[in-house]
Amino acid sequence: MARTTPSEPAAARLAALAALLADETRAVFCLALLDGRAWTAGELARGAGVAPSTASEHLGKLVAGGLLAEERQGRHRYLRLAGRQAAQVVEELAAYAAPGGEPPARSLRAASTAHALARGRTCYDHLAGRLGIRITEAMTTRGLLRQDTGFALTEDGLAWFGALGVPLDTASRRPLARGCLDWTERRPHLAGAAGAALCRHAMEAGWCERVGTGRAVRATPEGLRALTARLGIDPASIDGR
């Protein structure tokens, strides 16, 4: 194997990426933006409990490093993850960083937030947490999704999306189905174009709704009925009972 020197470009880029996420405040911003939405610098500052000037400095570094993108509308500066690849890096590093599970919550509010995120959340543009895992498991059990040789929709799976009236962009360069390691469940949930389309449909059809202003989501009573009818999911399994 060729010797890698400190001036190796790939090594330098990896070190720069690691340095971006080495600060806890910047990591908090990236995790918050996994909900797939754009937030103002002020909203992110309040969520992280830091001063606006501190947030601005950290956000500038994340934008310069390519993890975040910014948009300006009038007086407001909106930040979002730079794309699906950036979201994948953050989610998978979060899963890798907590192999033994999350530490105990230090307050009732923290415990409630952790419970809501574990029950269901958006991972950029697809569903994660127990909600995402149960959907993925049910699709696999019913032969709609294969996981034995990587994630792939079956013919029945394609027909299932068609019956839902959910179009899939099969011509896109984005993988139709991809496994994304869930950092709370330690198993892969459905990502890719199919995962994004299903998440979008679940929100638009009223199957799921956001909890508060973060990225936690929960299945509505209508959504639980739909998931039971279409995938045979036991509602109690999503709540963790």
Give the predicted TM-score (pTM) of the model: 0.70
Containing domain of residue 16, as a range? 10-82
Residue 50 sits in a domain whose CATH number is 1.10.10.10
Residue 63: is its pLDDT beyond 80? Answer: yes
Provide the residue type at 220 as one letter.
Answer: T
Q: Kindly state whether residues 54 and 139 are assigned to the same domain.
A: no
pLDDT tens-digit readout, 12-49? 888 988 899 999 999 999 988 887 788 899 989 998 89
89: its two tokens: 């890096």
Instruction: Report the domain count for the chain.
Output: 2
Q: Is residue 146 part of a domain?
A: yes
Is 98 a domain residue?
no
The per-residue pLDDT for range 189-222, each reduced to its tens digit, is: 999 999 999 999 999 999 999 987 678 899 999 9
201 and 125 housed in the same domain: yes
Instruction: Look at residue 88 and tell me if it is in a domain.
Output: no
The answer to the question of residue 145 being in a domain is: yes
How far is 213 from 209, CA to CA, in rounded Å?
A: 11
Would 148 be classed as within a structural domain?
yes
Q: How far apart are the first and last CA of the chain?
A: 51
pLDDT digits (tens, 9 = 90+) for 69-121: 998 877 778 898 888 888 888 888 877 776 555 544 454 455 567 788 889 99
Give the chain as a DSSP string: -PPPPTT-HHHHHHHHHHHHHSSHHHHHHHHHGGGS--EEHHHHHHHHT--HHHHHHHHHHHHHTTSEEEEEETTEEEEEES-HHHHHHHHHHHHHH-TT-PPPPSSHHHHHHHHHHHH-EEETTEEEHHHHHHHHHHHHHTTSEE-BTB-EE-HHHHHHHHHHT----TTSSS-SSEEEE-TTTSSEEEEHHHHHHHHHHHHHTTSEEE-TTSSBEEE-HHHHHHHHHHH---HHHHHT-
